[in-house]
Structure 1
């Protein structure tokens, strides 16, 4: 079984833990201490939120200033558009910011949320038909509804 651990830096570990638990995620106490918190996204995906000093011990590169630099966009799928709106609302209430408007392509909907440290989470929902058959099949079957919606790359 494969697990994914995404390491992200924080300048305030307690604030980060409060933010991520406010989104509905759990903390695994077995891998949490004064340097790091293991945020459980699901059974196979975890965020290791590390103090900037601890994060720096895992690389010889300069740690990006997430207030001004995007190093990664962490995309997390949700079950529905409403799920996305709910989790972004919780994130905004917990001190996050929404750096740009929602993106609605008809077959795909996404909203970005920056945590208080500037790490970018991209919550997205894709219509099951588009996910299974590709966006062009969805667009072809829903041409009338898609007429006024911009498409990525178009």
Structure 2
């Protein structure tokens, strides 16, 4: 069986969050979606579970931080530098906040960061595979 990661995120508005993630290229898996949670699929191995605050409290009684706090930054790799800009700009157009951290351009690596509707921090990045191919030998 393929190893997978399920990232669980508390969201204020499940429908709006689903639309936000769909605009970024995630696909909804209706098998694990109802009126309290939505499974948004990035790849075969990466799934984001959007949970209403009531559903979140079934898993932990720890408080949900407001959007001024940051506990983790979730990073996704993309296969083209231009897709980093596209995803970040799309996030901003759909209600998120682009470039909460300074964009990083190191020539062979490029990344930008945004927050979703609930302030969850995402970094999207691209690495030139040719630049690292010689190091792998």
TM (normalized to structure 2)? 0.90
Q: Could you tell me which residue of structure 1 aligns to residue 96 of structure 2?
A: 96
Q: Could you tell me which residue of structure 2 aligns to residue 149 of structure 1?
A: none
In structure 2, distance between residues paired with 1:51 and 1:104: 36
Q: Could you tell me which residue of structure 2 aligns to residue 109 of structure 1?
A: 110
In structure 2, distance between residues paired with 1:131 and 1:46: 27
In structure 2, distance between residues paired with 1:64 and 1:107: 35
More strand by share: 2
Cα distance change of structure 1 residues 131 and 13 upon mapping to structure 2, 3 Å threshold: farther
Where 2:97 maps in the other structure, the secondary structure is coil
Cα distance change of structure 1 residues 32 and 131 upon mapping to structure 2, 3 Å threshold: farther
In structure 1, distance between residues paired with 2:63 and 2:18: 24
Tell me which moved more, 22-31 or 55-64.
55-64
TM-superposed deviation, 1:115 = 0.4
Structure 2: unaligned runs, 5 residues or longer: none
- Greater Rg by CA: 1
TM-superposed deviation, 1:97 = 0.6
In structure 2, distance between residues paired with 1:11 and 1:23: 18
Q: Could you tell me which residue of structure 1 aligns to residue 128 of structure 2?
A: 127
In structure 1, distance between residues paired with 2:72 and 2:50: 14
Q: Could you tell me which residue of structure 1 aligns to residue 15 of structure 2?
A: 14
After the TM superposition, list the runs of 4 or more consecutive aligned residues in structure 1 that deviate by more than 3 angstroms.
129-132
Q: Which has the higher contact order (CA 8 A, sep 6+)?
A: 2
Deviations 1:41-80, CA, capped at 9 Å, x for gaps: 0111100010122112212322222x11111100000001
Size of the alignment, in residue pairs? 133
In structure 2, distance between residues paired with 1:17 and 1:94: 11
